[in-house]
């Protein structure tokens, strides 16, 4: 199972899409970005701009203590810190590029 995260402009044009394993959910939770990525609707977040500050804080946490977060790497190798950080950075970049885009997730 995996997380599909995408941003869509008002005209229903998808401007960004990315996918990563659910195995990184615990790492995301520990970094404070689980709801921004997996369940934004539960917090009422709809636009990309609404999760930018959360993702920025989460990336800072991830990068400040890589050894701590690597403890949450999936034992089977499907879900590693080294893949998660660039994934989150890519989402943040695109949220900034398309701040008015609508967040869509599929779990």
Query: What's this model's pTM, rounded to 2 decimal places?
Result: 0.92
Residue 46, CA distances (Å) to 23, 66, 84, 85 in order: 24, 30, 22, 22
| Domain of 47, in residue numbers | 2-106
Q: What is the mean pLDDT of each run of 10 residues along the chain (107 residues)?
A: 89 92 97 98 98 98 98 96 98 98 95
Q: Using CA atoms, how far apart are residues 83 and 98, in angstroms rounded to an integer?
A: 23
Q: Which pLDDT does position 10 carry in this prediction?
A: 77
Total number of domains constituting the chain: 1
Instruction: Catalogue the E-assigned strands of the chain.
Output: 2-8, 14-21, 102-106
The number of residues in the chain equals 107
Concatenated DSSP letters of 18-44: EEEEGGGHHHHHHTT-HHHHT-GGGGT
Q: Which pLDDT does position 107 carry in this prediction?
A: 87
């Amino acid at each position: 199972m995996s997380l599909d995260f995408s941003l869509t402009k008002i005209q229903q044009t998808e401007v960004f899409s990315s996918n990563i394993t659910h195995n990184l959910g615990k790492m995301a939770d520990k970094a404070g970005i689980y709801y921004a990525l997996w369940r934004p609707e539960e917090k009422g977040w709809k636009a990309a701009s609404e999760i930018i500050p959360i993702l920025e804080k989460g990336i800072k946490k991830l990068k400040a203590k890589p050894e701590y977060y690597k403890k949450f790497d999936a034992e089977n190798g499907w879900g590693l810190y080294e893949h998660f950080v660039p994934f989150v950075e890519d989402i943040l970049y695109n949220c900034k590029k398309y701040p008015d885009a609508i967040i869509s997730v599929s779990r």
